[in-house]
C-alpha cells in the first residue's frame, strides 16, 4: 500500500513537470519542452495507472491532482515570475492539507 501511495506522489510531481513544460512549449512550438511534456505526461499517467491497482480512484486521483496543482503554482511563483499573494499561499496550503487528508482517508485500498 505504501508503494502505491509513493507512486501517486511521484506521479503528482511528474504532473507538475508536464504542466510547466506545457507552458514552456508555447503551444507545442518548441521541440525540447514538447518532448519533456510528453515524457512527464507518460510517466505521470503511467505511475498513476499502476497505483490504481491498489488504491481507490477518488483519493488517489485527488492526491495526484492536488500535488500537481500545488507544485505547479509553487514552481510558477518561484521560477516563472507568477504573482505571489497571501491568498494564493493560503490557498496552496489548503490544497496541501486537503491532499494529506485525502491520502489518509484513502488508505483502505482494495
- Residue position matching grid coordinates 507538475: 16
What pTM was computed for the model? Answer: 0.89
Q: Mark out the alpha helices in 1-110 (DSSP H runs).
A: 2-24, 31-51, 57-79, 86-105
- Residue position matching grid coordinates 489518509: 104
**pLDDT over 60 (residue 110):** no
The upper half-sphere exposure of residue 38, i.e. CA atoms within 13 Å in the direction of its Cβ, equals 7
**pLDDT over 70 (residue 107):** no
Question: Cα 72 from chain centroid?
Answer: 8
Residues 54-103: tens digit of each pLDDT: 999 999 999 999 999 999 999 999 999 999 999 999 999 999 999 888 87
**Could you give phi then psi for residue 82, rounded to 5 degrees?**
-65, 150
Amino acid at each position: 500500500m505504501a508503494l502505491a501511495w509513493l507512486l501517486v506522489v511521484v506521479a503528482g510531481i511528474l504532473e507538475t513537470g508536464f504542466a510547466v513544460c506545457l507552458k514552456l512549449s508555447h503551444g507545442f512550438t518548441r521541440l525540447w519542452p514538447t518532448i519533456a511534456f510528453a515524457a512527464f505526461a507518460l510517466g505521470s499517467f503511467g505511475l498513476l495507472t499502476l497505483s490504481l491497482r491498489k488504491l481507490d480512484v477518488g483519493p488517489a486521483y485527488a492526491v495526484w491532482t492536488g500535488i500537481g496543482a500545488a507544485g505547479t503554482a509553487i514552481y510558477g511563483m518561484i521560477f516563472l515570475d507568477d504573482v505571489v499573494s497571501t491568498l494564493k499561499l493560503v490557498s496552496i496550503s489548503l490544497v496541501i492539507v486537503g491532499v494529506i487528508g485525502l491520502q489518509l482517508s484513502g488508505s483502505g485500498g482494495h
